Structure 1
């Protein structure tokens, strides 16, 4: 898989603009320089995984959306949106509840 700085920059910039955030605001929240963010958005600078994750969190997009050439592969579902921001323990609890629900749905389907 190729690391496309132009694509990454465009996607981050689009996400930032969709939120009506300034570069100053995002760079301050991410604790990076505004010039560095500008270089990232222009595809002139790469970024660490940690910086990518921080920016994705601020902009409320997934790393897959930013990195994958086909954005449809990174589509958010209503379930993933519901789970956004939960603690690891809450995510574990939600997973257990969902497993029970799916198991019951499959059992019900097999009875019909």
Structure 2
């Protein structure tokens, strides 16, 4: 099983932007070039383990979430996983998914 570097890069970009950190500032924190951060965020280059650890520290995210998109240490990790799965889904698939989950959510035990 390999890693999806584009997904990892996307998670890094989203976390960085969410924290209001520029690529330049992140690069400075890691002592690397802006181009290196750009390549990682676009999935064109894989960061080494040391830099991944630094990225997680700066962006305050777990390595588990960075690599897999989920983190079992978060109370609502499944919610984040579902939201990430929905991103990029075409409208017709989202309507279908809504039809499936609505009865489940409305079910009273």
Question: Which bin holds the TM-score, normalised by the shorter protein?
Answer: 0.5 to 0.7
Which residue in 2 is equivalent to 1:2? 2
Q: TM-score, normalised by structure 2?
A: 0.64
Asked whether the equivalents of residues 5 and 43 of structure 1 are also in contact (C-alpha less than 8 Å), the reply is: yes
| Whole-Å separation in 2 of the counterparts to 1:59 and 1:40 | 15
Which runs of 5 or more structure 2 residues have no equivalent in the other structure?
A: 76-109
The structure that is helix-richer by fraction is 1
Q: CA RMSD, aligned part only? A: 1.3
1:21 matches 2:53:
no
> Quick one: distance in 1 between partners of 2:45 and 2:66?
15
Q: In 2, Cα distance between the equivalents of 1:60 and 1:4?
A: 21
Bigger-Rg structure (1/2): 1
Report how many residues are paired.
Answer: 75
Distance 1:45 1:24, change over 3 A: same
Residues in 2 aligned to 1:58 and 1:76: alpha-carbon distance in whole angstroms: 18
